[in-house]
Structure 1
Amino acid sequence: MFSLLTDPEEIFGLELLAIKYGIELALRHSSHSIWIESNSSYAVDIVKKSAKCPWNQINRVHQIHNLLEKFHNWKITHVWREGNTVADILSKRGFPAKREDFCMSVITPELQDSILKDSVGMIYARM
C-alpha cells in the first residue's frame, strides 16, 4: 500500500500504478498466487478486460497483465472504500513512498484503530 500526492486528473493512473506496485511487491516476495483488491471498480474491470482502457493507460495495463502471467493463480476484486479503511486513510494523507517498509511514525491513533478493526473483521456500514 502506498500513496502519492497528485493532480485529481491523474487519480485513475495512480489506481493502476498501485495495482502494478502491489503485483511487483508480491513477485519480489516469491508469491505464487495473488488476490488484488481495489476500490476502483473501473480499474478492476480494465484488468479483467471487461472494460475499455483509456489510451493513455494502455502501456501500464499491458505491464500489469505481463506481471500477472508470472503467477499460478490471481484474481482481482472490487472492495468498497469502507472495506479498505487503512488504505483510504493513508491515501488521504498523501504519504510519499519510496520503499516497501512502512514508517511507524505514520501510525496515528486513527490509523491504529482502523488496523485493529480490520484485523478482527469488523463490518463497516456504507454511508
Structure 2
Amino acid sequence: MDAALIINNVKRKVLQLYTYKVISIKTFSRCTKLALIFGIYMDMNTSNSLDSFVYWIKPKPPYVKLNTDGSVGLLRAGAGGLIRDSLGDIMAAFAAPLQLVDVIMAELNALLMGLQLCLKIGVTFVWIEVDSLFLVQIIKDGVTGNAQYFYLIRKIKSLLNVLNFDISHIFREGNVCANLLANKGSSLVGYEEFDILNLEPSLKGMLLMDKASLPHIRYG
C-alpha cells in the first residue's frame, strides 16, 4: 500500500477518463484547482470555481501539533483530538463523550483534554490548531463575556502556563482527524485513549493524507 503510487494511479486514471471524454470540463466546474492537479487545464477567467485548498502543516521540531475538536448534535456531544510529531506521525489520540453543551463548551473541553494528554506523554512544545476562530480569540485575549466558560478557561490557562505553545486556526476541512475523533467521542461511554498501532482505517487514511501534505477541498 504505497500512498504515492496509489495517488499517481488515481491521477492517471482521471486524466484517461477526461481524454476519452468519459468525464468533461463540467465535472470540474467548481473545482478548477483540483482539475489542475489531474493535469486538466481550464480557463480560469471563465470558470465559476469557488473551491480552495486547505493543508494540514507539519510542526517544526521541537514542537508537536495538537488538533482538537468538539462535536454537538441534537442528543449528544463529544470531544476528540490527536497529537502528531514533526514527521506527521501520530503520537496519541483521544475521544470522550460530553454532557449536551454548546459548541464553544465542547471545543473548550476538547482543548483541555488535549493539553492534559500532552503533559501526560511529556511534551511541552505544542502548536495548538483548532477550527474555531472564537476559541483562538479566547485563548489569545482571555475575554469571552460569558461566565459559564470561566472555569474551563482558567483550567486551560493553568496548563498553558507550563507549556511553550502557539495557537492558530484551521478550516474544518483541514481538521478532519480531530473532527472524526470528536464524533466518535459522542458515542462512547467514557474518555478513551486509542492504540495508535490499531487505528480505524478511516482515520489512518486521513492521517496519511495529512502526512503526505495532500489538500483538503473547501467549497465556497
Which residue of 1 is the match for residue 170 of structure 2? 79
Task: Give the total of aligned pairs.
Answer: 124
Query: TM (normalized to structure 2)?
Result: 0.50
The answer to whether 1:54 aligns with 2:54 is: no
Name the structure where strand makes up a greater proportion of residues: 2
**Is 1:17 the counterpart of 2:72 in the alignment?**
no
Contact 1:15–1:43 (Cα < 8 Å) also in 2: yes
In structure 2, the gaps of 5 or more residues are 1-80, 82-94
Looking at structure 1, the residues matched to 192 and 198 of structure 2 have their Cα atoms a distance apart, in angstroms, of: 15
Larger RCO of the pair (alpha carbons < 8 Å, separation 6+): 1
Larger mean Cα displacement after TM superposition, 37-46 or 113-122: 113-122
Q: Counterpart of 1:37 in 2: which secondary structure? A: strand
Choose which of 187, 194, 198 in structure 2 pairs with 1:101: 194
Q: Could you say what the CA RMSD is over the residues aligned between the two structures, in angstroms? A: 2.3
- Which stretch of structure 1 is more off in the superposition, 15-24 or 29-38? 29-38
Q: Hey, what's the Cα distance between the residues in 1 that align with 2:122 and 2:195?
A: 20
Regions of 4+ moved over 4 Å: 102-106
What is the deviation of 1:87?
1.6
Q: Secondary structure at the match of 1:52?
A: coil
Match of 1:92 among 167, 175, 183: 183
Unpaired segments ≥5 residues, structure 1: none
Amino acid across the alignment from 1:25:
L
Alpha carbons 1:5, 1:95 under 8 Å: kept: no
After superposition, the C-alpha distances for 1:36-82 in whole angstroms (9 at most, x for unaligned) are 111111111101116424210101101111111111x1111111111
Percent identity (aligned): 25
